[in-house]
Amino acid sequence: MKKVIVLGGGLVGSVMALDLGSDPNYDVTVADKSQEALDRIAKKSNGAVHTRNDVDFADPDSIERAVKDYDLVIGAVPGFLGFQMMGAVIRAGKSMSDISFMAEDYFLWDEEAKKAGVTIFEDVGVTPGFSNVLIGSAVHQLDEVEDVDIYVTGLPKEPKEPFNYKFVFSPDDCIEEYVRPVRFKKDGKIVEMPALSMNEVYKFDIPGLDLPEMEGFLTDGLRSLLKTIPAKNISEKTLRYPGTADRLKFLRDIGFFDLEPIEIKGCKIAPREFFAALAYPKMKLEDDEVEFTFFKIDVTGKKDKKTVRHTFVMYDERDMETGYTSMARTTGFPCVIMGRLIAEGIVDMPGVNTPEMIGSNQVAVKRFIEEMEKRGVKVHHEVKEL
């Protein structure tokens, strides 16, 4: 039996802990400061998942002490805590699968992870994450890769004004998508531009759904793909209901997403905190709301001198029986599955890695897809000569 600790018991961390806790081969503990969240997880698991509230995620020494008695770590802390968490886990000599969407260059820990002989996988969510596994696998099957196009979204099926959006992952991380500059690759060069650039908004119909035509705008989710995939052109477009990009750009441009405190009638407050207090409650997903996650990935290149395109399409809805949101499922399950591959020795890659790096390991890729399908998350894969 493998001893696993999940750092973070939020929307996604709880799903990962419960998924692992349902397997008798794993002895699972989840750590979080919220006793309410821990009690909810313990109750839902019928006591199969242990809990602890004594880990301070802001204190690397606390994390290092906490993980030392476990075989594997699953990371699900907020992005701004992810980098130092990774260092603490490595110093403790533990392998980890992580979804903490950190701003820092996590490859700075690579040498230390190799010296410690531990396998670290970062950005193992949905996109980046599951998408990277599929992209890595497709690239491995091509002689030459030319273009990678990613379209992704997580939305309520019934949009409601004024936002037509509900949070399905960390609200602060979500807002960062509309603030952080966008990076993509065009004609072999990495290009940077402001988020929500209105001259780069695309129209997109999600097949098989009676939904309005979506708008897609470039977002900064490519991360490691810009370095690891030798394509000339790589882009990620996030899909939202019509008008969303324009509204968000207006809010951002007048300063609502700023982090620098301003003074209002003798009180200092960051505009984003003010916005959060007003807007976040209105964008909370209700327990009976159905939301979905969708991505479409095109990987185009050469095979035997012919132009070939691999297309992957995934659609998933909230599981109303378990209550798991689709975003929590499609983000949490990849991280857990990668953790299983590490624990079982199918993936043994000392250092800091990203999901596309297992693309050449077809045993790992096959197992990864099978495990997702067991959990009801299926991908349609089509290969076409152009």
How far apart CA 270 and CA 275 sit, in angstroms, is 9
Of 318, 383, 303, 334, which is closest to residue 76 (Cα–Cα)?
334
142-195 residue pLDDT tens: 999 999 999 999 999 998 888 888 887 778 878 888 898 999 999 999 999 998
Of 159, 294, 120, which is closest to residue 216 (Cα–Cα)?
294
Q: Residue 135 is which amino acid?
A: I
Model confidence at 223: pLDDT above 90: yes
78-107 residue pLDDT tens: 889 999 999 999 999 999 999 998 989 999
CB 14 within 8 A of CB 30: yes
Q: What Å distances lie between residue 224 and 58, 65, 126, 221, CA to CA?
A: 25, 30, 14, 9
Give 198's pLDDT tier (boundaries 50, 70, 90).
low
Averaged pLDDT, 65-85: 96
pLDDT at 162: 86
Q: Within 13 Å of residue 332, how many CA atoms lie on the same side as its CB? A: 26
How far apart CA 345 and CA 363 sit, in angstroms, is 12
291-305 residue pLDDT tens: 999 999 999 999 999
pLDDT > 90 fraction of the chain, expressed in percent and rounded: 82
How far apart CA 379 and CA 129 sit, in angstroms, is 14
How far apart CA 258 and CA 260 sit, in angstroms, is 6
Model confidence at 207: pLDDT above 90: no
How far apart CA 380 and CA 116 sit, in angstroms, is 39
Tokens 């897609």 identify what position? 216
pLDDT at 103: 86
111 CB neighbour count, 10 Å cutoff: 11
Model confidence at 210: pLDDT above 90: no
Averaged pLDDT, 225-246: 94
Give 11's pLDDT tier (boundaries 50, 70, 90).
confident
Say which CATH architecture domain 130-317 belongs to: 2-Layer Sandwich (3.30)
Averaged pLDDT, 342-349: 97
pLDDT at 161: 87
270-324 residue pLDDT tens: 999 999 999 999 888 888 899 999 999 999 999 999 999 999 999 999 999 998 9
Q: Within 13 Å of residue 346, how many CA atoms lie on the same side as its CB? A: 17
200-204, 256-260, 348-352: range with lowest mean pLDDT: 200-204
Please report, for the chain, the start and end positions of each structural domain, with discontinuous segments joined by +.
2-125+327-378, 130-317
pLDDT at 175: 87
CB 133 within 8 A of CB 355: yes
CB 248 within 8 A of CB 257: no
How far apart CA 214 and CA 243 sit, in angstroms, is 9
pTM of the predicted protein model: 0.93
Determine the topology of domain 2-125+327-378 in CATH. Rossmann fold (3.40.50)
